[in-house]
Amino acid sequence: MNASTEPIKPETVIKAKSNWSAVNLSELLEYRDMLRYLVIRDFISKYKQTILGPAWFIIQPLLMGVIFTVIFGKVAGLSTDGTPQFLFYLCGQLGWTYFQTCLSATAGNLISNANLFKKVYFPRVIVPLATMTSNLLAFAIQLLSFLGFWLYFKFGTDQGARFEMQAIVLALPLVVLQTAAISMSIGLWLSAMSAKYRDLHHLTPFFVQSFMYITPIIYPLSQVPEKFQWLIKLNPLTAIVETYRHMLLGTPAVASADLIVSIVITGLLLISGLIIYDKTQRNFIDYA
């Protein structure tokens, strides 16, 4: 009886990717250099041929703050919960601007990066992650600008007693993280749908603009009629914007139940967005 001396060859089993493995953390770590490259590319390409460059991170919110103050504060006379109007609108834009820029960039990333996807493999979710990361610098610059005006109104005017920064401001990174999660989740949904139905890509700016009016950017939540507040609170960004103002200006705190609803909706949107985005990107190249 002759015993076989040939070594046993290992078998490679190829299985279909599970929906729940849309984000592979070990694979993301393996491609961290790719993520770094995309972050730098996004930041440079955005302001490469501009005169003022990153200064637009400060100029744009300031211009909008002035416009909101004149139109909604002075002309329309909307309440700002007793805080200086200019600060109220600047603070509301902190979370909104970060959300808007991330969402707008993520919503069309499958289409805009089609040529890159055809040439090389890498986890496709790295592209929206790079967008979230590169826009953090813009958020930081805008936050520093806001703090400069906060100090001026606090100690350089007679309105300083009307607002106060809260100790919970130390949790600001968590609020920023949720803002990124909301923009990424909605952006992934829009990106996946726009890849199949290109008309939706043209509707994205309209969707973003409309979203601002159901978010308390130009008005406080307290001014919304009681019978409609539940509808506004279903928008997960509502609790986020109100939390920014509570942390930095001392406006009324968001109810714990409203904050929990916002977090739960954000989580559901993110999980479903990752799944639909992963399914779409597998076959996207075939019809891109």
Q: What is the pLDDT along the chain (288 residues), one digit of tens a residue?
A: 455 555 565 655 545 455 445 567 777 788 888 888 888 887 777 766 666 666 777 888 889 989 999 999 888 888 888 889 999 999 999 989 999 988 988 887 777 777 777 777 778 888 889 889 988 988 998 999 999 999 999 998 888 878 888 988 899 999 999 999 999 999 999 888 887 777 677 778 888 888 888 899 988 888 888 888 888 989 999 999 999 999 999 988 889 999 999 999 999 999 999 888 888 877 766 555
Q: Is 135 left (phi over 0), alpha (psi -120 to 50) or beta?
A: alpha
Q: Which domain holds residue 33?
A: 24-282
**Helix ranges, the chain (H):** 25-30, 32-47, 56-68, 85-107, 109-112, 114-119, 126-155, 172-196, 199-213, 226-233, 236-249, 256-287
Task: Return d(Cα 100, Cα 245) in angstroms, integer.
Answer: 18
Q: Is residue 7 part of a domain?
A: no
Burial of 235 (C-beta count, 10 Å sphere; 0-12/13-18/19+): middle
pLDDT (tens digit per residue) in 239-260: 999 999 999 999 888 899 999 9
The total of structural domains in the chain comes to 1
Q: Is residue 64 part of a domain?
A: yes
Q: Is residue 11 part of a domain?
A: no
Q: Is residue 12 part of a domain?
A: no
Q: Is residue 197 part of a domain?
A: yes
Q: Which two tokens stand for residue 237?
A: 């960004």
Q: Is residue 3 part of a domain?
A: no
CA distances to 34, 126, 131, 211, 212 from 37, in Å: 5, 11, 11, 31, 32
Q: Is residue 16 part of a domain?
A: no
pLDDT (tens digit per residue) in 137-161: 889 989 999 999 999 999 988 888 7
Q: Is residue 10 part of a domain?
A: no
Q: Which residues contact 13 (CB under 8 A, 6 or more apart)?
A: none
Q: Which amino acid would we find at residue 25?
A: L
